[in-house]
Each structure stands twice: as structure tokens, then as C-alpha cells.
Amino acid sequence: MDADCIFCKIANRSIPAPLVFESPDVVAFQDINPQAPQHVLIIPREHYANVGELARSGQQALLGKILSAATEIATKLGLDASGYRLVTNTGKDGGQTVKHLHVHLLGGRPLGWPPG
Ligand code: AMP
Ligand code: ZN
């Protein structure tokens, strides 16, 4: 738990946000500023700054749980046929603004490539 981290507070329910998915290790909630008709953030309950920090800490299995949760949510949202994108912005050039690892699930419209 990072006392200044908004996603830690969402995960431990000290900031109320409706959860679209919950498991012992992972939670997911709607992005407050959605960039697509469906925009969900999937996070580990435990604080890791980014995907590299998690992998280096020996918790690689948690990455699988996060991605499994993302695919489960995509199916629940009816995105399997139309498709979707999973992305985890990392660091300054990656455009990361919240320093608690999160995977964006985006869908519901065609998404451009390459990203800006
Ligand atoms: P990133 O730029 O990849 O770090 O993404 C951070 C995301 O968190 C952005 O899409 C924000 O809209 C989203 N966000 C920030 N604060 C909240 C919040 N309190 N609840 C839900 N989403 C948030
Ligand atoms: Zn955190």
C-alpha cells in the first residue's frame, strides 16, 4: 500500500469506485475519463509502479492473473467478436500518469494504430 496512491485506495475501498471485477489479487473499475465506449482499468491489489517492477519482484504469476481478468471482463462486456485492446503505459514516454500498474481494456469502437 502506497499512502499517496489513488489506485491503492480504490483497491482497498477507501475511495469508493464501482468494481467491474474483483478477485483476491486483482480488481477492475471504469476509467474516470473513458477513451472508448468501453474503458476499464485492471490493477493488482498490491502496489507495483509498473509491469517491470512487478516482474522483477518475482510475481510474474500475477501478470497472468491480470491478463486473465482482462479477457474475462472483455467477454462479459461482449467485446470478443468486435475485438479490444489491452495496453499498459509505462513511464514518461509511455504516457503513464498513475504510478500503480494498470492495464487499460479499450473497446467498443475501432482503435487507431499506431497510437499517438
Ligand atoms: P495512464 O495514463 O496509463 O497512467 O492511465 C491512468 C488512467 O487512470 C487514466 O486513463 C485516467 O483517466 C484514469 N484515472 C485516474 N484517476 C482515476 C480514478 N479516480 N478513477 C478511475 N480512473 C482514474
Ligand atoms: Zn498503488
pLDDT for 2 equals 84
* Stretches in the chain below the pLDDT threshold 50: none
The one-letter code for the residue type at 112 is G
115: left (phi over 0), alpha (psi -120 to 50) or beta: beta
All three cell numbers of 96: 503513464
pLDDT for 107 equals 98
Indicate which residue's Cα is closest to atom 18 of ligand 1. Answer: 32
Picking from 113, 109, 62, 61, the residue whose alpha carbon sits closest to that of residue 87 is 113
pLDDT for 1 equals 77
Give me ligand 2 centre to Cα 81, in Å. 33
pLDDT for 3 equals 86
Picking from 111, 93, 89, 91, the residue whose alpha carbon sits closest to that of residue 102 is 89
**Residue 104 annotated to the active site:** no
Residues in Cβ contact with 39 at an 8 Å cutoff, skipping those fewer than 6 apart: 30, 31, 104, 105, 106
d(CA 11, CA 115) in angstroms, rounded, equals 28
Ligand 1 atom at minimal distance to the Cα of residue 87? 3
Residues in Cβ contact with 113 at an 8 Å cutoff, skipping those fewer than 6 apart: none
